[in-house]
Homo-oligomer: A and B are copies of this chain.
Amino acid sequence: MTAYFPGSAGNVLTEFDLPRDARIDAVIARTAFERPTLVLDTALVAENYRALSDGLGHAVIHYAVKANPAPEIISTLVREGSGFDAASRAEIELCLSQGARPDRISFGNTIKRAADIAFAHGVGIDLFAADAEEELEKIAQHAPGARVYIRVISEPNGADWPLTRKFGCASDRVIPLLNHAAALGLDPVGLSFHVGSQTRRAAQWAGTLDQVAGLWHAARAEGFALSLLNIGGGFPAFYGDEIDAPTEYAAQVMALVTERFGHVPHVMAEPGRGMVADAGKIAAEVLLVSRKSETDLHRWVYLDIGKFSGLAETTDEAIRYQFETARDGDDTGTCILAGPSCDSVDVLYEKRPVQLPLTLRAGDRIVIANCGAYTSTYASVGFNGFPPLDLMVI
């Protein structure tokens, strides 16, 4: 990768001289944006794919398209050799349009519209997730003979964002569902689970893997020739708290898997956040800085982007983004950060305020780091008349 350093008047530097996001910073520095814009560098997506692949060994990546469905990301990953985890018909169509082969696409949503199953089957997709009888029946009817994996509920493990029980079945349902699948003429090939979004340390996978391995071996003892283990996502991104580096993280997860499962012929991993979060930054603007009363300790800082235009993951202050301004280095003070809409819910950080320069004022640019995942598509179509997050791919 060759990159230009901002302000370096075009001198070519090598990647070793530069921070990874130098290309993004350069584009943001020289561009006047009309509205909040996610600037995305697909070269970083390719780097992340390789880093994760290196650690995952024989496990294959099915990129979780929902994390960021930008066509340029999909085509980059097709070139890198990635598979894809699709949540809907529209995501399947997107992957196919960017050159993905149907046998590299899995339909991983456990809640599928019957017509979408039929569509997927029609275009040649043969691998489906399920966690309930009725879902298996829909698959058997609309994709007869398809391979299915059963998603199991995993127990809490300390992920930053543990999943609820929305997806997966309890342990006592696994054998009945495998039996039901076989009885319906489907091919029950394996199990899947999810450790929880943003699991920052590989070691945190151990408990969940213990649990699923118990179910795996029990199913094999019952005579099911399971051959596919889908380890899902959970691969972390940097949001201020330390994380394991991607290659080491993936290798350690696979070592934990092999310890418990032995050699599994087909292992799938579904990174989303871990693949694209650090490949994008949002260029935004300060709209207002104010104090509510004469005695207020905190300033309120209002941005032109908020919960309804890209930063939905600030709900409950779960994901803590990092901010950069041209005034970094000036003295800082605590701020409550809020979005531009006339909605009182549209406050980003209040319980744990952020530190920003005291000199910050309306009209200043503010750059939000590591925003490549779960931003652009979370944006509303136009709440309060504000447009969705714009996207610039470099």
Contacts and interface: CB of A to CB of B under 8 A. Distances in A.
Interface in A283-315: 285, 287-296, 300, 302, 304, 308, 312, 315
A240 interface: no
A342 to B, nearest CB: 5
Contact of A347 (B164, B168, B378): B164
Instruction: Please indicate which of the listed interface residues A288, A304, A308, A362 has the most CB atoms of chain B within 10 Å of its own CB.
Output: A288
A392 interface: no
Please state the number of chain copies in the assembly.
2
Interface residues of A, number: 81
A379 B378 contact: no
A44 to B, nearest CB: 23
A385 B94 contact: yes
A221 B72 CA distance: 63
B87 A134 contact: no
Given A90-B386, A172-B293, A385-B94, A167 B288 contact: no
Interface in A94-137: 94, 108-114, 131-135
B163 A344 contact: yes
Contact of A134 (B153, B296, B361, B386): B361
A351 to B, nearest CB: 11
A301 B304 CA distance: 37
A290 B287 CA distance: 47
Contacts of A135: 288, 290
A69 interface: yes
A90 B138 contact: no
Interface string A149-178: 000010000000001111111111100000
A312 B387 CA distance: 17
A388 interface: yes
A41 interface: no
Given A132-B291, A133-B290, A135-B290, 16 more contacts: A64-B342, A88-B340, A88-B384, A111-B287, A113-B304, A134-B290, A138-B288, A153-B292, A164-B350, A167-B342, A173-B293, A315-B345, A377-B382, A378-B380, A380-B381, A381-B381
- Which 7 A-B residue pairs are closest in the complex by CB-CB distance? A90-B385, A132-B290, A170-B293, A88-B385, A91-B385, A163-B344, A87-B384
